[in-house]
Amino acid sequence: MLAKYFRLSEHNTTVKKEVLAGLTTFSTMAYILAVNPSILSRTGMDFNALITATALAAAIGTLVMALYARLPIGVAPGMGLNAFFAYTIVSSMGYSWQFALTAVFLEGIIFIFLSMFRIREAIINSIPENLKHAISVGIGLLIALIGMANAGIIETGMHHVGDGKLDGVILKMGNITSIGPLIALIGLIVSAVLMYKNVNAALLIGILAATVVGIPLGITHFPASGHLVSLPPSLAPVAFKLEFDKIFTLDMVMILFTLLMVNLFDTVGTLIGLCNKAGLLDENGRLPRAKQALMADAVGTTAAGLLGTSVVTAYVESASGIAAGGKTGLTALTVAIMFLLSLFFAPVFAMIPQAATAPALIIVGMLMMGAVTKIDFNDVTEAIPAFLAIVMMPYSYSIAEGIVFGMLSYVLLKVLTGQYKSISPVMYVLSVLFIITFLVK
C-alpha cells in the first residue's frame, strides 16, 4: 500500500530507504524540540507546554507534506521566525505573546488562501532557472555553516571594543581540539567512509556514532530524571490563547507583512533547493505539486498559532534525508511519526548533541554545491544575480535575504541591458515589494 501510494518504484526507491531517510531528516531537525521552547519561553510562555506545541505543529505540517504533497520534506517551527516572534513582536514592540500567536494564526489563514489560488506557486515558477540553481547552492553553503557553527568548528570572532568600534574577524576557526569539533569530525569521517561504500544510512549512522562517542567525553548526557519515556506536557498554558482586540493596527499590518515575506521566501527557496537536489523538478525546472507543498506550511502555521508556537516552514535540514536517498512523501511521513513519538520519548531525542548532527549538515552542504555547475556564468546578467543569491545566504544567515538580492539584481540588470521582455510580470511585482520593504525598514 505504501509503495503504491507514494509511487516508490516510479522514484526508484524502497520503503527501507525512505524510512531511513526520514530518520536521518528527523535526527537533524530534532534540535528544534529544545531550541524553539528555549527562545519562545523568554516571552513568558510555559517551556514544557512549548515542547508539546512544537512537536505537534511540526507533525501536522509534515503530515500534510507527506500525504498531500508527497514530498520528502520536513516542516517545523522555523529558526529566525521564532526569534522575530520573541525579540521583535514581544520584546521590542512590547506586545503580548498572545498577540504574537494571533499574528501567526492570521498569517497561516492568509497563506492558505494564497496557496489555494496558486499565487505562491506562480511566484515559484517565475524564478529564472539560474537563480533556482543558485538557491540550491546558497542553501548548501548556509547549512554547512550552520553545522560548523553548531559544532564549534567555526566561531564568530568580531566583538565590540568601545565607541562603536569592532575588533577581530567576522568568522574564525574554533578550538578544533575541543570536544564539540572532535565529535563532529568523527561523525564526518564515519559518514564519509560509509557514503563511499554506498551505505544508505550513512548520515544517520554518523550521527549515532558521534552521539555514542560523546557519552564518555561528556557531551552526550543521559536524562536527569533517569526515565527515557514520559507523558507529554500539557498544552493548556499556551494553546488557544489568541488575542484579537488589537489586530486592526498598523503594527499588525507590518508584522503580518514581515512574516509573510520572510516565510514565503524561506519556504520557496527551501522547496526549490531541496527538490532540485532530489531531482524532483520537472523538465522546465518547476516544482511538482507546488500547491500541495505550499499548503503544508500554511496549514502547519495555522495550527501553530492555535497550539501555541511560532510560524512553521519547510526545513532545509530535510536535505540530509534527501542525500540519504529520500525521494517521496514516505520520508516525510516517517519524520511526522517521529515528531509524534518524540512527545513520549523527548528525553531520548534530547540526548543527541548538536555537534553530532553537524556532520550531516556539512556533508549535505557539500552535496548541494553540485548545482553550481548548472549555472551560466558566461552571461553577466545571469552570473551576478546567481552569485549574489549564493553568497548572501551564508553571509546574511538567511535564505530569504539571498533570494531578495538575487531577484532584485536580476531584474535591474535585465532592464538596464534591454532584456526586460525576459522578465515575468511576477518578478516585477516582487521587486517592487522588496524595494518597499527595504524603504519601510
Burial class of residue 192, CB neighbours in 10 A (0-12, 13-18, 19+): middle
Residue 441 pLDDT: 55
Amino acid at 121: E
Q: Using the 8-state DSSP alphabet, how is residue 78 labeled?
A: P
Of 134-138, 182-186, 228-232, 259-263, highest mean pLDDT:
182-186
Q: Which three cell numbers stand for residue 342?
A: 518524540
pLDDT for residue 160 is more than 60 = no
Residue 200 pLDDT: 63
Angle subtended at Cα 48 by Cα 45 and Cα 52, rounded to the nearest 5 degrees: 100
Confidence of residue 291 (pLDDT cuts 50, 70, 90): confident
Confidence of residue 18 (pLDDT cuts 50, 70, 90): very high
Cβ(289)–Cβ(115) under 8 Å?
Answer: no
Q: What is the CA radius of gyration of the chain?
A: 21
State the average pLDDT over residues 257-271. Answer: 75
Q: Between 84 and 382, where is the model more confident?
A: 382
Of 1-10, 29-38, 333-342, highest mean pLDDT:
333-342
Q: Is 230 left (phi over 0), alpha (psi -120 to 50) or beta?
A: beta
Confidence of residue 431 (pLDDT cuts 50, 70, 90): confident
Task: Report how far residue 271's alpha carbon sits from residue 318's, in angstroms, rounded to the nearest whole number.
Answer: 10
pLDDT for residue 34 is more than 70 = yes
Residues 211-227 pLDDT 10s: 899 999 988 888 776 77
Residue 187 pLDDT: 93
pLDDT for residue 301 is more than 90 = yes
Alpha helices by DSSP H, 158-289: 179-196, 202-217, 250-278
Of 103-112, 141-150, 256-265, 342-351, highest mean pLDDT:
103-112
Residue 60 pLDDT: 96
Residue 349 pLDDT: 65
Task: Report how far residue 122's alpha carbon sits from residue 192's, in angstroms, rounded to the nearest whole number.
Answer: 39
Residue 125 pLDDT: 75
Task: Report how far residue 273's alpha carbon sits from residue 394's, in angstroms, rounded to the nearest whole number.
Answer: 14
Q: In Å, what is the CA distance from 282 to each residue of 32, 211, 275?
A: 32, 38, 10
SS3 133: helix
Q: Which three cell numbers stand for residue 317?
A: 535540514
**pTM here?**
0.73
Q: Between 197 and 161, where is the model more confident?
A: 197
Confidence of residue 166 (pLDDT cuts 50, 70, 90): low
Write out the DSSP string of 5-30: HTTTTTTT--HHHHHHHHHHHHHHHT
Alpha helices by DSSP H, 46-96: 47-64, 81-83
Average pLDDT, the chain: 85
